Amino acid sequence: MQNNNKMKENSETRNEVSSINENRKRKISRVDKEETELDTPSAFNPKYRVCPYLDTINRPLLDFDFEKLCSISLTRINVYACLVCGKYFQGRGTNTHAYTHSVADAHHVFLNLQTLRFYCLPDNYEIIDSSLDDIKYVLNPTFTQQDIRNLYKSEPKHSRTVDGTLYLPGVVGLNNIKANDYCNVVLHALSHVSPLRDYFLREENYAKIKRPPGDSIFNLVQRFGELMRKMWNPRNFKAHVSPHEMLQAVVLWSNKRFQITEQGDPIDYLSWFLHTLHRALKGNKTPDSSIIYKIFLGEMKIYTRKIPPVDLDDTQKTLLLATEEYQEKCQQSNFLYLTCDLPPPPLFTDEFRENIIPQVNLYQLLSKFNGITEKEYKTYKDNFLKRFEITRLPKYIILYIKRFTKNTFFLEKNPTIVNFPIKNVDFGDILSMHNRDKLNNTKYNLVANIVHDGEPNKGTYRVHIFHTANGQWYEMQDLHVTEILPQMITLTESYIQIYEQSTE
């Protein structure tokens, strides 16, 4: 008897669930049918009309940099932007949030953020008008091959925003949402690596890359491409761009390792970002498997030998050095950036009781990679001597100047100033004669310089970028963009530098 009752209850529950699902399906199909009927022309509801509300569009309020979700239901499906107030709403049929907003606030012109089609609500007819093309281009900028070639012209044109502000495409500020300046400087620097910029300005370069079903890491590639196109858009409504969608993807795919509300380290972010982009573009270990490796990948040999313990006498050390374990070993390795170690700062003040600001030449830091200089590395158990020999230089060299050291108690910053030339840095000086003969050009020019200011845990980041077309240097810190003399760049506490192979 009890079993029969249970079976009866289960069947009733299944019937209830199936009826709920049926009601839900009918509701969805009814909404789809309504919107389909609204797109069907008739005598009283023509498909296209001349809209009398186009003059209500408020372009200064339009901002398409943020996540495309409904401001009420938070859904990402079928989202429309109100072109009068700039808010996002779902749907356009009756009983939808967009429809209700159009009736309640008398805002009539809406844009579908996915299809890029304009509609007038609550009348529900499509608007086709060439005067709206500028809005469509701000939402989804596109670049032709000719547009990209124009970026290399010697006299780039300034663009004007809707409020009359002049700006230079590619030299626009990025919003600091709270503490994401460490991400902004990296994005600014990468946007002026010309081959990387040219690749992401044309979406078709990576749109056809096939990914496994359910693999959504490719969204990071799409978000970076969208941000790059918006930064170089000559028709922006504002002289700045918000990296909100891009950083949301970073937070998601780094498992919250990088946050927009907490300060981070640009070199950690840069390393993670380049490797993640490489994987998302279906790159492998071969040098030309992705645009990332084509631009930044270099090769080196690492020679390692173990050091005998210091408490042994000379005889024991000699016997150990003759064993296989203590022989020098060579390993071939790839690199995306080179870590340069600064000499320790002086402990004492000068005769005027002032701290001495130490200085070091860039070539002295690069001598670490000449294949001769040995550097000691310690582990909890053994000590090793390593030397590094660069065998292949990439088209773009990233230098990481290691300023921060972490001990048991706190984080310390090395204030040493690095003296470096802006142009014609000859990396051939650190190569062996054999490796130098294999390379046609070993001279590089600086294109980006990331700087850290302030205390180790409380500082801020800014970046100097070189605009190739007009030959001008700019200093960028979030929304602040100013011109700067190249002589001033060498006086800063450089943290990350990007060098471009010279074409001269």
Write down the pLDDT at residue 3. Answer: 47
Q: Which residues of the chain have pLDDT under 50?
A: 1-14, 17, 20-21, 24-25, 27-34, 36-38, 40-45
196 vs 225: CA distance, rounded Å? 10
Task: Identify any residues that bridge with 437 across adjacent strands, giving them in sequence order.
Answer: none
Calpha distance 329→355 (Å, rounded): 43
DSSP 388-446: EEEEE--SEEEEEEE-EEE-SS-EEE--PEEE--SS-EEGGGGS-HHHHHT-S--EEEE
CA 123 vs CA 72, 94, 225: distances in Å: 22, 10, 36
Q: Angle at CA 100, nearest 5°, toward 105 and 24?
A: 165
The model's pLDDT over 49-74, given as tens digits with 9 standing for 90+, comes to 678 999 999 999 999 998 899 999 99
pLDDT at residue 48, rounded to an integer: 62
pLDDT 10s digits, 176-229:
988 899 999 999 999 999 999 999 999 999 888 877 776 778 889 999 999 999
Q: What is the pLDDT of residue 363?
A: 93
Q: pLDDT value at position 350?
A: 60
> Rounded CA gap, 478 and 468, in Å?
21
Give the CB-side neighbour count of residue 177, counting CA atoms within 13 A: 18
Pseudo-torsion of CA 40, 44, 48, 49, nearest 10°? -170
pLDDT of residue 105: 94
The DSSP result for 204-270, as a single string, is HHHHT----TT-TTHHHHHHHHHHHHHHT-TT-SSSEE--HHHHHHHHHHTTTSS-SSS---HHHHH
Q: Report the chain's C-alpha Rg in angstroms.
A: 29
Please give the model's pTM, rounded to 2 decimal places: 0.85
Give the per-residue pLDDT at 346. Answer: 76
Taking only the tens place, the pLDDT of each residue in 161-179 is 999 999 999 999 999 988 8
Residue 146 is predicted with a pLDDT of 93
User: What residues contact 360, with CB distance under 8 A and at least 6 apart?
Assistant: 342, 343, 416, 417, 418, 419
What's the confidence (pLDDT) of residue 323?
81
Buried (b) or exposed (e) across 248-272, using 16+ Cβ within 10 A?
Answer: ebbeebbeeebbbeeebebbebbee
pLDDT confidence of residue 47: 58
Please report, for residues 116, 230, 378, 470, the alpha-carbon distance to residue 201 in angstroms, rounded to integers and kept in the order given.
19, 9, 45, 20
**What pLDDT was estimated at residue 42?**
38
- How far is it, in rounded angstroms, from Cα 340 to Cα 367? 9
Q: Which value, to the nearest 10 degrees, does the dihedral of the CA atoms of residues 64, 66, 71, 77 take? A: 80
d(CA 326, CA 319): 10
What pLDDT is recorded for position 434? 82
Helix (H) or strand (E) run with residue 105 in it: helix 97-105
Q: In what order do the strands lie in the sheet with 375-378?
A: 329-335, 298-307, 383-392, 375-378
What is the C-alpha separation between 424 and 438, in angstroms, rounded?
19
User: Which tokens go with 148?
Assistant: 């990209």
Query: Which among 494, 450, 485 has a CA at the least distance from the CA of 184?
Result: 450
- Quick one: pLDDT at residue 184? 96
- Taking Cα atoms as reference points, which of 311, 305, 292 lies closest to residue 396? 292
Residue 175 is predicted with a pLDDT of 92
Tokens of residue 412, six digits:
């310390």
Give the SS3 label for residue 111: strand
pLDDT recorded at residue 393: 93
For position 106, what pLDDT does the model report?
Answer: 94
Q: Are strands 109-112 and 79-82 parallel, antiparallel or unpaired?
A: antiparallel
Alpha carbons within 13 A on the beta-carbon side of 335 = 23
Burial of 45 from C-beta contacts in 10 A (0-12 / 13-18 / 19+) = middle
**Of 326, 183, 303, which Cα lies nearest the Cα of 251?**
183
Query: Largest Cα–Cα distance of the chain, in whole Å?
Result: 105
Question: What's the rounded Cα separation, in Å, for the pair 379 and 392?
Answer: 29
496 three-class SS: strand
Instruction: Determine the Cα–Cα distance for residues 120 and 111; give it in Å rounded to an integer.
Output: 9
